[in-house]
């Protein structure tokens, strides 16, 4: 989830309508199985009224601005609301949303601006990872990898047959469209915008495996029968033995590069030999990629870094799904973000871990058939021009990774259960801990992005939950005021969490401000004057995400993560388990002097203080009650 937001703020300041990418959409018959059972009934993403969005926008910018700056912004926004240009842009956007055959007014714009047209490297800037809990049943890496493959293949079977049910909330079913891009899918670099390629699942029953920078294709069906876990393990052992006894140019590092450079080098690689085009096709059409790493990470920072970016060589970052298993059995997942947000892959990985950690997965026969063909080595022809490109891409990757700092905070003072006992929404409570931690470090609140899913709508993806509110700023001020009473602090915390929850709910209903304002801006035609609302520093400042945050939670994860989205900001991914909160805090090492260690320290301090205040008030209330 996650460089997206800054890209929009940065690129779109100077753009009008953007060209849209044209991914190769795989059709989905809504009548085909449970997965798409409710797809045809999903409502379209709404276009809110200007009279709804603009006052809401003013409420979100007010806590970020001085009184003078806010007064100026208020005049600009009110002028826009009354202007003929504002009304015309709204009319154009409503007309776009109503076009016959258009499923979602935002989809093409969003996919291009945020992903396909975005040119910075996907790792570390766009992709996201999950870190798995250890598997006590399988300490041998290829044994664990084999079990993961079997579980993932069963999930794939349910997707292919459509017998997997749609995700649901209390409000109803969520859009399943992105499941079309889960398996046998890859991003392909192109100028000016990348495309997403999908391959027929029935015709491509192989996975790809990479070890020691060398790629292999491993068919999972032999003589009409799915390979058992024992057979997959044996095949993976053959791959490890073969790859570790040889060396190869690390072609995979090309996928770590700036997308324009990778587009050029993709063409260079493809044209270097007719064999390379076939090799690329075999790799890209695989159901998913299994990365067998020789790393042995121990600390949280070590294994978060392995799954986030690794050494850049033993990967193909464009594959939609990569399962990573280290030589000490540590395992995780890396997701390519362009066509699929985190919730479907969170479901996939939660399923895999539930199946493997608790012995539920069907491993098949323990007998290894003697006639299994050797895994197919996917060897690239690499003339000197390609080797030079690979070396240069590797140097750039190493430099980018070196520019990043990371701290992983496992906070065990509370988890989901304790927060609920205290009377709060777990997500809202953790968001306020992040707000207070940042306030302690910098003495002020700044624009904060939290990803909110809009998958209740057809082809919906995300909206920006603006976590900073007048209530959240007041909460931070109260907690940093020495004379404030516990009761005053508690009231401020309750108000802040309530305001956060109300805004998050509006976002999930398609009624946030950021996507609507983006749509209005992109409705401008070439040569038309940009409205002052989009030239106002308040607009730029309120969408410059000093904190980019997102929650994805599973009891089976040891955290997850992504990068910052602006050079002077932090990326904070968090998992709320029953017993703990795990925060991945990433930032750049640059002239802005950011410090992930310090932010982690203050978030921990904030969380402890918040819990102490709530408990103190509860104890006081209990003591004041008359004893029977």
Q: What share of the chain is helix, strand, coil (3-state, %, to 5)?
A: 45, 15, 35
337 is catalytic: yes
- Which DSSP letter does residue 36 get? G
Rg (CA), the chain: 25
CB of 63 closer than 8 Å to CB of 439: no
Q: Which residue reads 């499923």 in tokens?
A: 103
Give phi and psi for 414, each to the nearest 5. -165, 165
The span from the first CA to the last CA of the chain, in angstroms, equals 54
Q: Which residue among the candidates 5, 206, 304, 337 is catalytic per the annotation? A: 337
Nearest C-alpha neighbor of 449 from the set 369, 358, 563: 563
Burial of 560 (0-12, 13-18, 19+ CB in 10 A): buried
* Interior/surface letters 289-310, b for 16+ CB within 10 angstroms, e for the rest: bbbbbebebeebeebbbbbbbb
Task: Identify any residues that bridge with 132 across adjacent strands, giving them in sequence order.
Answer: 557
Q: How many residues does the chain have?
A: 628
Three-state helix/strand/coil letters over 445-469? CCCEEEEEECCCCCCCCEEEEECCC
- Residues contacting 511, CB < 8 A, separation 6+: 46, 48, 52, 53, 56
Distance CA 126, CA 186 (A): 15
Count CB neighbours of 40 within 10 A.
10
* 259-272 vs 274-284: helix crossing angle, rounded to 10: 120
Distance CA 135, CA 359 (A): 10
DSSP string, 67-98: HHHHHHHHHHHHHHHHSHHHHHHHHHHHHHHH
Give phi and psi for 168, each to the nearest 5. -135, 155
As a dihedral over the C-alpha atoms of residue 499, residue 501, residue 502, residue 503, rounded to 10 degrees, the angle is 90
* 514-522 vs 50-61: helix crossing angle, rounded to 10: 120
Nearest C-alpha neighbor of 569 from the set 464, 458, 465, 438: 438
CB of 290 closer than 8 Å to CB of 207: yes
**Which residues are catalytic, by number?**
337
């Amino acid at each position: 989830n996650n460089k997206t937001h800054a890209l929009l703020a940065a690129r779109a300041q100077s753009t009008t309508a953007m060209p849209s990418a044209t991914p190769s959409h795989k059709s989905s018959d809504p009548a085909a199985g449970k997965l798409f059972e409710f797809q045809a009934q999903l409502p379209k993403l709404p276009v809110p009224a200007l009279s709804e969005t603009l006052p809401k926008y003013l409420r979100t910018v007010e806590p970020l601005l001085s009184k003078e700056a806010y007064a100026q912004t208020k005049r600009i926004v009110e002028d826009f609301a009354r202007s003929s240009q504002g009304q015309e842009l709204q009319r154009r956007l409503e007309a776009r949303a109503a076009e016959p055959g258009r499923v979602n007014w935002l989809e093409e714009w969003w996919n291009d601006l945020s992903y396909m047209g975005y040119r910075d490297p996907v790792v570390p800037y766009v992709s996201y990872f999950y870190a798995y809990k250890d598997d006590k049943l399988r300490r041998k890496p290829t044994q664990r990898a084999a079990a993961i493959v079997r579980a993932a293949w069963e999930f794939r079977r349910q997707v292919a047959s459509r017998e997997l049910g749609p995700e649901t909330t209390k409000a109803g079913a969520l859009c399943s469209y992105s499941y079309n891009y889960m398996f046998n899918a890859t991003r392909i670099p192109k100028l000016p915008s990348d495309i997403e390629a999908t391959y027929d699942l029935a015709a491509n029953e192989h996975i790809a495996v990479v070890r020691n920078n060398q790629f292999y294709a491993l068919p999972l069906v032999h003589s009409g029968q799915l390979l058992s876990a024992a057979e997959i393990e044996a095949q993976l052992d053959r791959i490890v033995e073969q790859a570790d006894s040889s060396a190869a140019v690390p072609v995979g590092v090309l996928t770590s590069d700036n997308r324009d450079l990778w587009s050029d080098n993709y063409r260079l690689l493809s044209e270097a030999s007719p064999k390379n085009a076939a090799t690329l096709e075999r790799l890209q059409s695989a159901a998913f990629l299994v990365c067998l790493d020789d790393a042995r990470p121990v600390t949280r920072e070590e294994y978060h870094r392995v799954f986030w970016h690794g050494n850049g060589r033993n990967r193909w970052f464009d594959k939609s799904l990569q399962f990573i298993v280290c030589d000490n059995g540590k395992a995780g997942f890396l997701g390519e973000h362009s066509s699929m947000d985190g919730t479907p892959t969170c479901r996939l990985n939660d399923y895999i871990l539930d199946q493997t950690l608790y012995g539920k997965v069907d491993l098949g026969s323990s007998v290894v058939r003697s006639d299994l063909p050797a895994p197919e080595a996917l060897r690239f022809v690499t003339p000197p021009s390609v080797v030079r490109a690979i070396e240069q891409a590797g140097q750039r990757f190493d430099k980018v990774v070196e520019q990043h700092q990371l701290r992983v905070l496992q906070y065990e003072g509370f988890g989901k259960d304790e927060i609920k006992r205290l009377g709060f929404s777990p997500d809202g409570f953790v968001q306020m801990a992040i707000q207070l931690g940042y306030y302690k470090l910098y003495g002020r609140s700044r624009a904060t992005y939290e990803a909110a899913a809009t998958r209740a709508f057809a082809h919906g993806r995300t909206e920006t939950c603006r976590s900073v509110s007048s209530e959240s700023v007041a909460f931070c001020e109260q907690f940093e005021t020495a004379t404030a009473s516990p009761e005053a602090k508690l009231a401020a915390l309750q108000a802040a969490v309530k305001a956060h929850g109300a805004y998050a709910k509006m976002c999930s209903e398609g009624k946030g401000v950021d996507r609507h304002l983006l749509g209005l801006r992109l409705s401008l035609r070439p040569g038309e004057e940009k409205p002052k609302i989009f030239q106002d520093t308040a607009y730029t400042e309120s969408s410059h995400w000093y904190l980019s945050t997102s929650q994805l939670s599973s009891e089976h994860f040891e955290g997850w993560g992504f990068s910052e989205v602006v050079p002077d900001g932090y990326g904070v991914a968090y998992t709320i388990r029953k017993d703990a909160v795990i925060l991945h805090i990433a930032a750049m090492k640059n002239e802005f002097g950011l410090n992930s260690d310090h932010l982690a320290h203050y978030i921990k301090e904030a969380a402890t203080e918040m819990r102490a205040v709530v408990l103190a008030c509860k104890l006081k209330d209990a003591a004041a009650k008359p004893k029977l």
